[in-house]
Structure 1
Amino acid sequence: MSRPDATDDTVRELLLVMPRLVGRVKRLPPPEQLRSLDLAPRHLSMLSLLLLDGPLTVSEMAGMLGVAPTTVSLIVSDLSRKGVLVRREDDADRRRRIIDISPDSRPAITQWLSPGAHAWRRALAPLSPAQQRTFVDTLLRYEAAVSTPTQTTPGQR
């Protein structure tokens, strides 16, 4: 019997750790204040950006999220109606709107999402910027690969 190569060893390890990782993240319930809002992953990405980067325009968020501005506008409208986000005029250009987390929602959102950002910082800290970029690029390639599965069966190369 041949010894699996290093890539197979790494794949095996990732196949074991990824379900645990996803399971742990899913078990982090939203704070009571947010539970009735029926938040989807797209909401969490937007809220995370606003926590990390502060107030943003719809166009800035769309670019960062890789979606159309109309998609961001719909999500912002939904979360604004629920009191999670607020919109204000941009002082530099009154035609633009700046989006931010509402003061009433910020403590609950911070309590919920900040531990994940802190965990990523701790995990990435030992890596150089180039290694961090490689890690993110690898996750993006993995995401693309699972989005377009091949006809290969487990154990095949």
Structure 2
Amino acid sequence: MTADTPRGTSASRATDRPGDTSPFALGLLLRRAHWRAGAVMVEALRPLGIEIRHFAVLMVLVDRGPTVQRDLAAATGSDKAGIMRVVDDLERKGLAVRRAVPGDRRVRAVEITPAGLEVFDAAHVAAEPLAERLVADLGPGEPELLTKLLTRFAHASDGEA
């Protein structure tokens, strides 16, 4: 027994280096991949004047249509105050509007504007070459395989993929 290995353990320790076989290895790799992909998104969105948090809300609005703020918060992993700031930003930029919900004067649904839809579409165009660069080191068919595996992994409890 060495001073840095607790008695009765033989598992490797997390290093966050290639070849890490610790129980944390997958999570650490996913975190690193998230950072790389996030950097690509930031680079694509910056010229459009929005951030990832704005894009996340626009994505929900495009997918679901008008959505109340509490549901936006849940869908984006934000809290109530955070989602209010994002929606305020989107309104100031003319990318979304709040509208009254019939039957409930206290609730407002957030709706994407035509300008918001233009920015959303422009983000995809801007991200295309950056996304290709992100997977440039992968071989033929590997980007699709990676996407398929990550989809199965990320949505395992959803019964999807």
Scaled by the length of structure 1, the TM-score of the pair is: 0.54
Aligned length: 122
Which has the higher Rg, Structure 1 or Structure 2?
Answer: 2
Tell me how large the CA RMSD over aligned residues is.
4.2
Counting only pairs closer than 5 Å after superposition, residues 69-84 of structure 1 correspond to structure 2 as 69-84=80-95
Counting only pairs closer than 5 Å after superposition, residues 1-150 of structure 1 correspond to structure 2 as 8=20, 14=29, 18=33, 21-29=37-45, 34-35=48-49, 39-113=50-124, 126=148, 131-134=153-156
The answer for unaligned runs of 5 or more in structure 1 is 1-6, 137-157
Offset at residue 21 of structure 1 (A): 4.0
What's the secondary structure of 1:105's corresponding residue?
helix
Instruction: State the alpha-carbon separation in 2 of the partners of residues 20 and 70 from structure 1.
Output: 28
Alignment CA distance shift 1:90-1:23 (3 Å): closer
Contact between 2:42 and 2:52, CA under 8 Å: does it hold in 1? no
Report sequence identity in percent.
Answer: 26
The answer for unaligned runs of 5 or more in structure 2 is 1-18, 133-143
Instruction: State the alpha-carbon separation in 2 of the partners of residues 124 and 80 from structure 1.
Output: 36
Alignment CA distance shift 1:100-1:111 (3 Å): same
Offset at residue 30 of structure 1 (A): 5.1
Contact between 2:41 and 2:52, CA under 8 Å: does it hold in 1? no
The one-letter code of the counterpart of 1:97 is: R
Q: Tell me the alpha carbon deviations over residues 49-102 of structure 1, each in whole angstroms, 9 at most, x when there is no partner.
A: 212222110111122223332321222122212211111111242321110111
Offset at residue 46 of structure 1 (A): 1.5
Instruction: State the alpha-carbon separation in 2 of the partners of residues 80 and 26 from structure 1.
Output: 20
